[in-house]
Amino acid sequence: MRKRDGKKPIKIRTPYKSEEVFLPSENKEQQLTEEQVKEIIERQEINQSQLDEAEQQVAKQKSKKKKIINLIFFLINIGVVIGILVYQLSAQEVMPISTLFTSGLNFWYLLLTLVVFAISMLLETIRINILIKRTSGRSRPFLSYKSVGLCRHYDVITPMATGGQPFQIMYLKNRGLSASSAISVPMGGYVLVQIVIMLMSTIVLILATTTNLGGDNTVVSVAFYIGYALNMLVSLITIFLSVSKKIGTKLVVGILKFLRKIKIVKNYDKQYNKVLKVVNDYQTTMQDYAKSKFTFVILMFVSILQYIATYTIPFTIACAFLGWRPDLYLEIFIMAVIIDVAAGFIPLPGGTGVSELSFTALFSQFFKDGTLFWALIIWRFMGYYIFMLQGVSIIMYDYFIGNKKYSWLKRKWELEAESKEFREQKLKNFKKSKSRLIKY
């Protein structure tokens, strides 16, 4: 066996598919140097560290204390809606629900609203499935949908939508993806979302400031500018961390030094090494996704369509009350984005309070004769409560059906992998015996 650069090669067997069910690899020996072995071990340690952190976040979400906090936030949300109802009852008339059904409310447009929501979920599922297939080699659309549904469920019940990604990582890992794949899929999805948010919110900002389409409410506008600035900061940091090792290192150093000054970080060296390893792994993941320009373009296209579908929902709700008004589409789209961005920096689940008040302030010009409150209820249901119901439905499905189905599917794939390995070994032995016969 030849040595490379004076270093002795080390034989490492590629894991069998029964050990790593979803990792597409061939059963053959690879020649790796000691440095490559160390790099593999370090990456495994990083992945394990990230999985441990995600597991801790999920455990916190499932703790009794966290459940009580989430319940309190949910009750606060309900209280805000009731407060708006009381205010509107005192300030203006709210159409009775019995009158609402006979006032010309078009239920076909409400059905269209559900269809648009389904399209938005489908596009997000496609994006995650593409990432799963690229990292694991296996297309798993139903797993992609469930991971998206659960991610959105935990996003809406946690402050500033911070609970979804850790749960998504653990869910993908528990459904057979390798540690690296389970981490890189949400990472890739997050970067794509940040790029699209930065692009689309900038377009909305330009349109809102150069036209009168964004409404004239000063408070909502200020909240939008603050939310936009914070979103832009997060997006730029995410992109710089993805594409530049030099800038990524400088950002890590700057942020950690600042946190050390304000006494949040105590052991600077330990945290620096830990964070830098995560950043390096993160950059490797993004560079791997960027290798296929066609895949990246498809992912961006799907993400933009998903963004547009999400903010089309308020327009279809308006059509249910006003009839088909395509002339209002752009104005309503811009207002919907403004509301979402304005509520994004509020440290309450779903931007509780700001979302409802912003909707009331901006959309009161469209909904007259006491229909504003009902439009608010439908809009809030489609942007908040439906994700909670969807998440609970997926959890119940997994409890009664999904977990058992996956265990059967996992065993089937293991048997298929073992069968393939057996056939390959038999073929290898046959070729060896044949070569011996020819030799003699």
Render 296-357 in DSSP notation, one character per residue. HHHHHHHHHHHHHHHTTHHHHHHHHHH---GGGHHHHHHHHHHHHHHHHTSSSGGGTTHHHH
* pLDDT given for residue 29 in this prediction: 42
The predicted structure's pLDDT at residue 21 = 42
Q: Scan for tokens 């966290």, then name that residue.
A: 66
Please name the residue ranges forming H helices in 16-33. none
Tokens of 273: 């090494």
Tens digit of pLDDT for each residue in 333-360?
Answer: 999 999 999 887 776 666 666 787 788 8
pLDDT of residue 32: 64
Mean pLDDT, residues 196-217 taken together: 87
C-alpha span between 406 and 88 (Å, rounded): 50
Q: What is the DSSP letter of 7?
A: B
CA distance 113 to 321: 12
Judge whether 376 and 360 are in contact, CB under 8 Å.
Answer: yes
Task: Determine contact, residues 220/339, Cβ cutoff 8 Å.
Answer: yes
pLDDT over threshold 90, residue 147: yes
Q: Are 289 and 134 in contact (CB under 8 A)?
A: yes
Per-residue pLDDT for 18 more than 50? no
Is the Cα torsion angle 68, 74, 80, 86 positive or negative in sign? Answer: negative
* Predicted pLDDT of residue 393: 95
Band (15; pLDDT cuts 50, 70, 90): very low
At CB < 8 A and 24+ separation, what contacts does 238-244 make?
238/190, 238/191, 238/194, 239/191, 239/194, 239/195, 239/198, 241/279, 241/282, 241/283, 242/191, 242/282, 242/283, 242/286, 243/283, 243/286
Distance CA(161)–CA(211), nearest Å, equals 31
The one-letter code for the residue type at 255 is I
Tell me the one-letter amino acid at 144: S
Average of per-residue pLDDT across 223-233: 89
Long-range pairs, 2-11, Cβ under 8 A, ≥24: 4/33, 5/33, 7/33, 7/34, 7/35, 8/34, 9/33, 10/34, 10/37
Residues 6 or more apart whose CB falls under 8 angstroms from that of 117 comprise 313, 382, 386
Tens digit of each residue's pLDDT (9 = 90 or more) over 96-105? 888 888 888 8
Q: What percent of the chain has pLDDT over 90?
A: 27
Contacts of 288 (CB under 8 A, 6+ apart): 184
**In this structure, are residues 22 and 175 in contact, taking their beta carbons and an 8 Å threshold?**
no
End-to-end CA distance of the chain: 26
- Cβ atoms of 390 and 153 within 8 Å: the answer is yes
What does the pLDDT look like over 366-398, one tens digit per residue? 988 788 889 988 998 999 889 999 999 999 999
Q: How far apart are CA 223 and CA 342, in angstroms?
A: 5
In this prediction, residue 356 carries a pLDDT of: 78
Q: Which of 183-187, 191-195, 276-280, 434-438 is least confident?
A: 434-438
Domain map (residue ranges) of the chain: 62-419
Identify any residues that bridge with 12 across adjacent strands, giving them in sequence order.
Answer: 30
Contact 9, 32 (CB under 8 A): yes
Between 259 and 44, residue with greater pLDDT: 259
List residues bridging with 4 in a β-sheet.
Answer: 7
Q: How many whole angstroms separate alpha carbon 336 and alpha carbon 221?
A: 12
